[in-house]
Amino acid sequence: MSWRGARSAGRGAARAGVDGVLDVLHPVLVLCRGVRCLTVRGRAWWDRTPRERRGPALFVAAACGALVWVLPFGPVLAALGLLAAAGWYGREGATRPAARTGPSVEECARLRALYEALVPYFAPAEDPHHEPLYVPGGAWERVFEEFAFRDGRISDLLLSYPAAFLDGEPEERLRVERVLAAKTGRGREYRFSWDMEGNRLEMAALAPLPCGVLARPFVTAPGETVLGFTDGYEVRRTVPVHFLGAAAPLDVPPVVWRTGHRATEPHLLAVGTPGAGTSSLLRSLALQALHRGEVLFVDGDGGGEFSCFAARHGVLGVESTLPGALSALEWAARETERRLLVTSRARQRGEPVPEEVRQPLWIVLDRPAALSHLADAEERIDPQQLLRVPLRHGRAAGVTVVVAEQFEDLDMLTDTVLAHARARVVLGSVSPGQAGAVLGEAPQTGPGAHVARGRGFARLGQGPVLRLQVPATPDPLDETVGEPERLAVGQLLPASVHEPSTGEGAAATAFRVAPPREGQAT
C-alpha cells in the first residue's frame, strides 16, 4: 500500500510540474503556434500566386524590407509587429481551421457533368500539352478553382480555360455562357466576367431585381429621368425608393437617362412583348417629365392607356385617332422648328433663351406601327415621317421623343426612329438574340420564362447592358390593379385644368379613383 501511495504521489507531482512548466512557457507556445500559422498561410499564398507574379512579389517584399531597415527603429517596430501577429494567430482557437466540408456526392456529380459539357468548347483539336486541362473523363478539380452552391445548384464558379481558346471572339464566349447557364440551372440570370489576361472565367448567379417599387418623385437633377432600377454591379449611385408594404424607403441603384441640350442619347425606344409593361414605362417617364415640362401623348392602338392624363396641367393632348395624331405630330414638328429659330435669334443678339423655349417638351408615342398601318390604308402620310424634325433637332430645341413598340411590329419602325432613338429598353421574356437586335449588344442571359411586369434590359447609347425593373406605374383608372399602386400614381398626376393649379396639394386632391368614361381621351 505504501508503494502504491508513493507512486500516486509521484504522478501527481509530475503532473503538477508539467502544468507549471506549461504555464511558464505558455507565451512561448502561443508565439510558436502563431509563427507556424503565419508560415502555413504564407506558403498557401505563395502556391496560389501565378508564377509570372512571384518575381514582382519578391521584389516588392525585398523593397519593403530594405525600407524598414533604413527607417529609425524600423527593425524593432517590424519585430514587434511580427510578435503581435504571431500572438494574435497563436491564441486559443485561432489556429483551429474552420470546419470545411468538401462537396457532397450530388455536388460532385453536378461539377463533373458541367466539366464534361465544357470539354467540347475548351478542348482544342490538337493540344500540344501532355496534360490538357479539358479532356473527356479528366479531373474537374484542376479547372474549377472556386465554386459555391445555393439551393442545390451552382451559384458561383471560377474556372480556368486554355490560352488557345478564342476568348476574343464574342460568338465563342456566348457559346460557353449558354452552356454554363443551361447546366447550372435555367430560369436564373447570370453575370460572366472574362479575365482574358489570366485565362479565367467567373460566373455568378444574380439575385432577382426588387419588385413592387411604387411610383414616387425620385431624387434626380434637372434633365435626369429614372427608367427603372438595377443591381449594383454597373451602377454605384442609389436613390431612395418606396416598396409596396415597406414602412421606410430603401436605397436602390437606378438607371438614369439624361435628356436635354447636353444629352448624348436624347430620344428613347422601348420594345416589349404584350403585357410586358411598355405602357407602364411611358407613364412613369411622363409623370417625371410633367414636373419640369410639357407632354404630348399619342396612343397608337387607342387602348386608353393614357386617358388618366387627359385635361391636366402640362398635358398638351392625348390623341388616339389617326387625324388627331397627324395634327399633333405636325404641330410638334412646327414647334421644334420655332424653338430652334427663337433660340438662334436669342443667341445672335446675346440674350438669354426665353423660358418658354427652355421648358422641356416630351412627345410620347405608343404603338406607332398601328397608326402607320391605318395611314397606309387611307393613303395618308405616315405619322413616323412627322417625327423627323423632332428626332433630328430635338436635342437643340429641348424636345424629347419616346417611342414604344412591340416585337412583332418592330420591322414597321422607320430608319429615322431607329437611327436617332439610341437609348433602348427591352421588356419581357425574350431571348438574348432578340434583346441584342434592339440593344445592339446581347445580354449575357435573358430573363426566365415567367418574369414580373416591367422586367427587362436597358442600354444607353454605347454603354453596358443593364438589367432593368420599371417602377409599378399602372393606369389609375384600371380597377383590376391593386389600390396602393393606383393611389401612388394618382397622387403624382397634375391637377385638372378645370381646377386651379395650386401646387402639389392640388395634384394630390385632383385624382379620384373612378372607372374610365367614354370619350375621356382627347
| Distance in angstroms (rounded) separating the CA atoms of residues 44 and 37 | 11
The C-alpha cell at 106 is 450530388
Instruction: Tell me the CA distances in angstroms from 293 to 175, 176, 286, 313, 509, one per residue in order.
Output: 46, 47, 10, 10, 21
SS3 assignment, position 343: helix
Residue 271: beta bridge partners? 405, 426
Helices marked H in 321-412: 322-348, 355-358, 368-377, 388-397
Q: Phi and psi (nearest 5°) for 267?
A: -125, 155
Q: Is 337 helix (H, G, I), strand (E, B) or coil?
A: helix
**CA distance readout (Å), 172 to 122, 199, 442:** 10, 14, 13
User: 371 and 409 in contact (C-beta within 8 Å)?
Assistant: no
87 annotated as belonging to a binding site for a ligand: no
Q: Cβ of 394: how many Cβ atoms within 10 Å?
A: 25
CA–CA distance, 208 with 464 (Å, rounded to integer): 19
Beta bridge partners, 225, equal 257
Residues 6 or more apart in contact with residue 89 via CB below 8 angstroms: 33, 34, 37, 38, 95
Helix (H, G, I), strand (E, B) or coil at 51: helix
Is there a binding annotation on residue 273?
yes
Q: Give me the amino acid identity at 211.
A: C
Does 187 appear as a known binding residue?
A: no
Nine cell digits for residue 362: 416630351
Q: Is 274 annotated as a binding residue?
A: yes
Neighbours of 32 (CB within 10 A): 13
Q: Which three cell numbers stand for residue 77?
A: 517596430
81 conformational bin, left if phi > 0, alpha if psi -120 to 50, beta if neither: alpha
Whether 276 has a binding-site annotation, put simply, is yes
279 is in an annotated binding site: yes
**DSSP secondary structure letter of residue 440:** S
On whether 185 is known to bind a ligand per the annotation, the reply is no
17 annotated to bind ligand: no
In the three-class reduction of DSSP (H, G, I as helix; E, B as strand; rest coil), residue 402 is classed as strand
Q: Per the annotation, where are the binding residues for ATP? A: 272-279
Q: Per the annotation, where are the binding residues? A: 272-279
